[in-house]
Structure 1
Amino acid sequence: MNGPQACLPHADAGEFLILDVFARRPFEGNQLAVFPSAAGLSTGQMQVIAREMHFSETTFILDAEPDAREFPVRIFTPAVEVPFAGHPTLGTAWVIWDRILKRGADRVVLDLAVGTVPVEVHDAGDRLVMRQVPPEFGDACPAEQVATVLGLTRDDIDERFPCQEVSTGIWFLIAPVRTLDAVRRIKVNRAEYDRLVDRMRAKAVLVFCPETVSADCHLHVRVFCDWYDVPEDPATGSANGCLAAWLVRHRYLGTPDVELFTEQGVELGRSSRLWLSARPEGERVSVRVGGRVVPVAEGRLLLRPDDDGI
């Protein structure tokens, strides 16, 4: 055998749900696989399963007891485990609310590697909102280097504001671009991207502009994350939370706080809509990100105790 043993710890461990997060309807937003009865799965098994599902993230709920105050959850990309991610947090909270708590709560608390993340349930489950951990602001990156990574010119970057690393649990480089045309022209130079992320804490780049496709959205967003084995993500709650904090920090909209909608995933054919809110609270910035979760499928892994590869 070439990997962790295939024998699942119990019959329910292979059950999963597939959800579209930050979607207005099925087959939009960002896909997520959730394993609600994952207690007993090893780290190696979780990683292999996430690679098999091959969504940007797959989550595993380690305690499915309805009287739990906090629900321990692990998040995996096809390549690595991550301490926090936005659409997996909302989607997993929806599964806990629907399947474990039987819709009998208006708040779900996830215990993630980054810490506890509370998620509010609104409108009978039609909208979920998470409060992200307080943001950290890191290094700035030269506009010319960012333009080279994105296959753009320096003039495409809005140099009134910095290209800067921000984290609300996981680091992203926030890059302001002037026009929608420029955002659509992006072709990531993988060699330059690798060179950039090798020296930064941020391993993914969020690019945004103030022009949008949908009239009811305020900013157009793309997120590039080859380092995580996901070339482009259709909806990224963690990155949009960092964007919200960045907007407040640099007064991009000219206001001390923000509440707005972003669109993402348009170029991938998976249109996504994310609600962002950020405001100063003392010396910190409070960041909340919300959206809709749409369940689309459920099933079970067909594994036998003698299967190789897991």
Structure 2
Amino acid sequence: MAEFDYLTIDVFTKRRFGGNPLAVFPKAEGLDTATMQALAAELNYSETTFVLPPEDSANTARVRIFNRTAEMPFAGHPNVGTAYVLARHGHAHGQTLRFEEVAGLVDVRLIEENGAPVGAEIDAPQPLSLLGELPVDGIAQCLSLPADAIMLAEHPPVRASVGVDFVLVQVRPEALGAAVPDLAAYRRLAAATVEPGGRLSIFLYAVEGSGIRARMFAPLAGTWEDPATGSANAALAALRLSIKGGEVLDYDAVQGVEMGRESHLSLRAWRAPDGIRASVGGRCVDMFSGKVIL
């Protein structure tokens, strides 16, 4: 039998029982892919991470991310939370870390207070890519909203990625709280627009002051609603900069309000030689520790 320690934290929050929960296995050598997937499904968080030695010794670690049903090439809150865990519990040193992931290299800058890590900011591994528009009626049905609740002045529902793709949808402020995922509509739209093995994760948002408030539904992947989705927020930041113009865009996002898990994310997008890049950051709070015996 082998023992594997894990820790859980709440990400993008300053208080326990807020933000997005994450489980981290800081020493995952010896776990195969099937077991990692089974553990992620058993823990039943939106994502679980498994930390392995890096393939390149210049990097901090290789990080594998699993949701309830599949491995993710990249995700936001798992990277922020994993960096915090490794630094907080002595598994990594220095103020900057670099993770090897399916989507590429993820650069991390720790957020510290009084010399101790309290969170992290990560750079998404890829520049913005736009992967096509989706039909307004189909998206509205997925969200149980009338079609006129979806705003089109800045952009139509569009699939976008900075490492993993989401459908980004701007809605009227009053529609944000009214949205409810319709599983049958998701299945219909996925059958019509998504290649086998693809994703249909809808990130809807409304402008609120100088920032945004958002929700994310991915029921086909087992996440009915996500309290904080760093990778989707980063993709949106890059998209908004591409629309608004300028060199840099900074703002804050709030997500998870409707779930009772209010989350706060700091977003930044900038123009780089290879396209528009984005970062997302926030704070973390320790929750539980445990051990798996296999």
What corresponds to 2:49 in structure 1? 59
Q: How far apart in 2 are the matches of 1:258 and 1:295?
A: 30
Distance 1:154 1:257, change over 3 A: farther
What corresponds to 1:109 in structure 2? 98
CA contact (8 A) 1:37 1:64 kept: no
Cα shift at 1:115 = 1.2
Cα shift at 1:64 = 8.7
| Consecutive unaligned residues in structure 2, runs of 5 or more | none
Distance 1:202 1:78, change over 3 A: closer
Larger radius of gyration: 1
The AA in structure 2 aligned to 1:298 is: S
Q: Is structure 2 residue 278 aligned with structure 1 residue 278?
A: no
Q: How far apart in 1 are the matches of 2:138 and 2:82?
A: 37
Q: Is structure 2 residue 233 aligned with structure 1 residue 240?
A: yes
Q: Please point out which of 165, 175, 187 is paired with 2:169.
A: 175
Cα shift at 1:60 = 0.6
Distance 1:69 1:100, change over 3 A: farther
Alignment of 1:1-310 (within 5 A): 7-8=1-2, 11=3, 14-63=4-53, 69-101=59-91, 104-123=93-112, 124-132=116-124, 133-160=126-153, 161-179=155-173, 181-198=174-191, 199-200=193-194, 201-211=198-208, 218-251=211-244, 257-282=248-273, 284-301=275-292, 303=293
TM-score with structure 1 setting the length: 0.86
Q: Percent identity?
A: 34
Q: Kindly tell me the number of residue pairs found equivalent between the two proteins.
A: 284
Q: How far apart in 2 are the matches of 1:196 and 1:110?
A: 34
SS in 2 for 1:38: coil
- Which is further off, 185-194 or 120-129? 120-129
Q: Which has the higher strand share?
A: 2
Cα shift at 1:70 = 2.9
Cα shift at 1:259 = 0.4
* Cα-to-partner distance string for 1:159-180 (whole Å, 9 max, x where unaligned): 112110001111100000021x
Please list every run of at least 4 consecutive aligned residues from structure 1 whose deviation after the TM superposition is greater than 4 angstroms: none
Cα shift at 1:283 = 5.0
Cα shift at 1:142 = 2.3
* Cα-to-partner distance string for 1:84-136 (whole Å, 9 max, x where unaligned): 1110011111122222446x300111111111101001234223110102121
* Cα-to-partner distance string for 1:178-206 (whole Å, 9 max, x where unaligned): 21x20111122211112223323542000
SS in 2 for 1:243: helix
Task: Report the RMSD for the aligned CA atoms in angstroms.
Answer: 2.0
CA contact (8 A) 1:96 1:108 kept: no
The AA in structure 2 aligned to 1:299 is: G
SS in 2 for 1:24: coil
SS in 1 for 2:228: coil
TM-score with structure 2 setting the length: 0.91
Q: How far apart in 2 are the matches of 1:116 and 1:256?
A: 23
What corresponds to 1:4 in structure 2? none
Distance 1:202 1:45, change over 3 A: closer
SS in 2 for 1:31: strand
Distance 1:281 1:68, change over 3 A: closer
CA contact (8 A) 1:120 1:129 kept: yes
What corresponds to 1:3 in structure 2? none
Q: How far apart in 1 are the matches of 2:199 and 2:275?
A: 21
* Cα-to-partner distance string for 1:11-48 (whole Å, 9 max, x where unaligned): 3xx21000101112111000000011110111111111
CA contact (8 A) 2:84 2:118 kept: no
Q: How far apart in 2 are the matches of 1:42 and 1:144?
A: 42
